[in-house]
């Protein structure tokens, strides 16, 4: 155990799934936690997750393996761990031993594309917090012919239901009298944000696909399929959202 290395003991216990960080602090104060056989009651104590042996009530605590999965969410699947209407959820597409993962943000039921799932609560918070400005890329197929000046309005900001919705960038891929395809880049991730933007312009989004979150791209991943992020991709995500 070291006073200036490793991670705080209460954070280690929370990340291992023993208790919330606040509840872990109570366990420490109560003398229920030992590090290398010694009772530790000081909340500022730090531990090395690899070298130190941490026990709660005599039982060893082992850190959870941090896992981040990229999934191509199909249309019709909901981004929740349980659904009262018994609709298929994103967890139904993953191995049963990964039921502890939770979605990083959401895609609505009628949208498809890249979704990240993880058991790393801190990374999940950082990826979804507006302060970190994580860029997300979408491709929308819209009914009707969208004009370039209208897309410029989206970058300036457009009002819908009392909120100002704004893109970082937009690009008109194609347009004819019946349909348009538009690429959009956003950072905020408000509820049904892309659909609401086009609704404010008077258009209906027929299909919506997310293609990228930060540096992670959907690539050739087929609908309903998943892959585990590489260590390099995980490191890049952590650097992107570092305090």
Q: Along the 243 residues of the chain, how does pLDDT read in single tens digits?
A: 555 568 899 988 887 878 777 888 999 999 999 999 999 999 989 998 888 999 999 999 987 788 999 999 999 999 987 888 889 999 999 999 888 788 998 899 999 999 999 888 778 888 888 888 899 999 999 999 999 999 999 999 999 999 999 999 999 999 999 999 999 999 987 889 999 999 999 999 999 999 999 999 999 999 999 999 999 999 999 888 876
> 114 in a domain, yes or no?
yes
> 1 in a domain, yes or no?
no
> 166 in a domain, yes or no?
yes
DSSP 8-state class, residue 91: G
Of the candidates 132, 138, 136, which has an alpha carbon nearest to the alpha carbon of residue 214? Answer: 136
3 state SS of 138: strand
Active site residues: 108
55 and 77 co-located in one domain: no
> 92 in a domain, yes or no?
yes
3 state SS of 9: helix
- Give the CATH number, domain containing residue 33: 3.10.290.10
What is the span of the domain harbouring residue 174?
135-213
> 173 in a domain, yes or no?
yes
> 2 in a domain, yes or no?
no
Task: Please answer whether residues 165 and 127 qualify as being in contact, where contact means their C-beta atoms are separated by less than 8 angstroms.
Answer: no
Tally of domains in the chain: 3
Pairing of strands 7-8, 68-73: unpaired
Cα–Cα dist 13/28, whole Å: 10
């Amino acid at each position: 155990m070291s006073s200036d290395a490793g991670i705080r003991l209460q954070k280690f216990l929370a990340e291992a799934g023993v208790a919330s960080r606040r509840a872990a602090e109570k366990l420490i104060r109560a003398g229920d936690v030992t590090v290398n056989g010694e009772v530790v009651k000081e909340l500022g104590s730090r531990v090395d997750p690899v070298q130190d042996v941490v026990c709660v009530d005599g039982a060893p605590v082992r850190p959870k393996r941090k896992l981040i999965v990229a999934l191509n969410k199909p249309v019709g699947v909901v981004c929740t761990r349980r659904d009262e209407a018994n609709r298929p959820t994103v967890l139904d597409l993953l191995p049963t031993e990964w039921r502890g993962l939770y979605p990083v943000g959401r895609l609505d039921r009628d949208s498809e594309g890249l979704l990240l799932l993880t058991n790393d609560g801190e990374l999940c918070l950082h990826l979804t917090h507006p302060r970190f400005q994580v860029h997300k890329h979408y491709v929308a197929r819209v009914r009707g012919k969208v004009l370039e000046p209208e897309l410029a309005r989206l970058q300036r900001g457009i009002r819908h239901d009392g909120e100002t919705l704004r893109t970082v960038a937009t690009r008109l891929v194609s347009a004819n009298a019946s349909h348009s395809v538009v690429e959009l880049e956003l950072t905020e991730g408000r509820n049904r944000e892309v659909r609401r933007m086009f609704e404010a312009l008077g258009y209906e989004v027929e299909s919506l696909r997310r293609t990228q979150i930060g540096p992670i791209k959907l690539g050739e991943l087929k609908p309903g399929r998943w892959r585990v992020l590489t260590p390099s991709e995980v490191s890049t995500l952590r650097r992107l959202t570092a305090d």
